[in-house]
Amino acid sequence: MSLPAPAHSAAAANAAEHTGNVFDEACSSRLALELIASKWTLLILPALQDGPMRNNALLRRTGGISQKVLSQTLRELERNGLVIREVRGTKPLHVEYRLSALGVSLSDALVTLDRWAETHGGALDAARERYDASAQSRR
Amino acid sequence: MSLPAPAHSAAAANAAEHTGNVFDEACSSRLALELIASKWTLLILPALQDGPMRNNALLRRTGGISQKVLSQTLRELERNGLVIREVRGTKPLHVEYRLSALGVSLSDALVTLDRWAETHGGALDAARERYDASAQSRR
DNA sequence: CGGGATCCTTAGCGATACTG
DNA sequence: CAGTATCGCTAAGGATCCCG
């Protein structure tokens, strides 16, 4: 019954309010999970690993995202302390986004996922094709 | 491999789709990423690490999910070759879900994310509180 | 017990236009 | 340049009923 995540180190003892387990809805870890369970978060945070980036750069780098959603995502990431927004020039408005320490630690984990997707994307394609083919014949 | 996503198909896949699926970006890794960028995937796959589970067990374990969405998610995971669905008894219908080899490899990465969420969930809470407070005073 | 079918509500996103 | 505001659509999800 135990999740491979033994998060009961010191948190469970004192907090007492929630279990701290991601499987419980309405606890902080769950909120965190839902925040990072976004395709855009999975792209934006790792993109910032190489250094600060500006709005337009992120917009170009992150294929498929719209300006609106980029803004929303960045604001949410900033709100949760993962990204730091810095205004560096007011003349032709220069804004930079960079990872916080917290953001860096998360980004490391996300990079692993990105790599997994790049490595196994083809395998998923193949599996889908197989599944759909056999589902077709079954119908 | 440079991490932050190759910026190749920006112009190419521009005027392609309008079917409803937001990114028809034909990149398999992107498809893979979108599949796993779901809070339910992030919970279900690690839940299966301990061994096969039945529908009801997953339903109970994964707080907040509905039967409908659970079915959808499991079918999609099966379709992509991450989860194997096995009917073990037809009398009172006994169905088990278990990880494929591919699913195991992904689950490892997901567990890392779950642990991150459990570890840093409180920090995100705090950051949010700070952000909202200062946003309040700025208004 | 597992899960498909239907209906209906909502949240998310794209497109467009505007501002500091 | 870096956003915000508004509108209209659609697709995700909850609720319910039913079937093998």
pLDDT for the residue numbered A20: 79
pLDDT for the residue numbered B24: 34
Tens-place pLDDT, residues B19-45: 222 223 568 899 999 999 999 999 999
* A126: pLDDT strictly greater than 50: yes
* A49: pLDDT strictly greater than 80: yes
pLDDT for the residue numbered B82: 98
Confidence of residue A18 (pLDDT cuts 50, 70, 90): low
Three-state DSSP class for A63? coil
Angle, CA A61 vertex, CA A58 and CA A66 arms, to 5°: 65
* A135: pLDDT strictly greater than 70: yes
* A114: pLDDT strictly greater than 60: yes
DSSP designation for A76: H
Task: Report in angstroms the alpha-carbon separations of B98 from B41, B74, B95, B104, B117.
Answer: 13, 10, 10, 9, 24
Contacts 24+ apart (CB under 8 A), B107-112: B107/B45, B107/B46, B107/B48, B107/B49, B109/A109, B109/A112, B109/A113, B109/A116, B110/A113, B110/B36, B110/B41, B110/B42, B110/B45, B110/B46, B111/A3, B111/A4, B111/A5, B111/B46, B111/B49, B112/A109, B112/A112
pLDDT for the residue numbered A138: 66
DSSP designation for B9: G
Rounded-to-integer distance, Cα B69 and Cα B102, Å: 22
Q: Is the CB of A138 under 7 A from strand D?
A: no
Contact B120, A105 (CB under 8 A): yes
Three-state DSSP class for B80? coil
Confidence of residue B57 (pLDDT cuts 50, 70, 90): very high
Q: Counting runs of H as helices and runs of E as strands, what totals does chain B give?
A: 5, 3
pLDDT for the residue numbered B136: 73
pLDDT for the residue numbered B17: 30
Nucleotide nearest to B70 (CA to C1'): C3
Å between CA of B66 and C1' of C2 = 13
Sort out which chain A residues have CB atoms less than 8 A from B80's CB and list them.
124, 127-128, 131
Looking at this protein, which amino acid is placed at residue A35? L
> Which is more confidently placed, A120 or A20?
A120
Q: What percent of chain B is helix, strand and coil (3-state, nearest 5)?
A: 60, 10, 30
Average pLDDT for A58-73: 95
pLDDT for the residue numbered A7: 43
pLDDT for the residue numbered B21: 25
Tens-place pLDDT, residues B64-119: 999 999 999 999 999 999 999 999 988 899 999 999 999 999 999 999 999 999 99
The token duo for A26 is 């309405």
Q: Is the CB of B69 under 7 A from strand C?
A: no
pLDDT for the residue numbered A91: 83
pLDDT-above-90 percentage for chain A: 70
The residue among B32, B7, B29 whose CA lies nearest residue A62 is: B7
pLDDT for the residue numbered B139: 63
Confidence of residue A84 (pLDDT cuts 50, 70, 90): very high
Q: Is the CB of A74 under 7 A from strand D?
A: yes
CATH among 1.20.120.80, 1.10.10.10, 3.40.50.10420, 3.40.1280.10 for B51-121: 1.10.10.10
Q: Give the one of B22, B102, B114 whose C-beta lies nearest to A5's C-beta.
A: B114
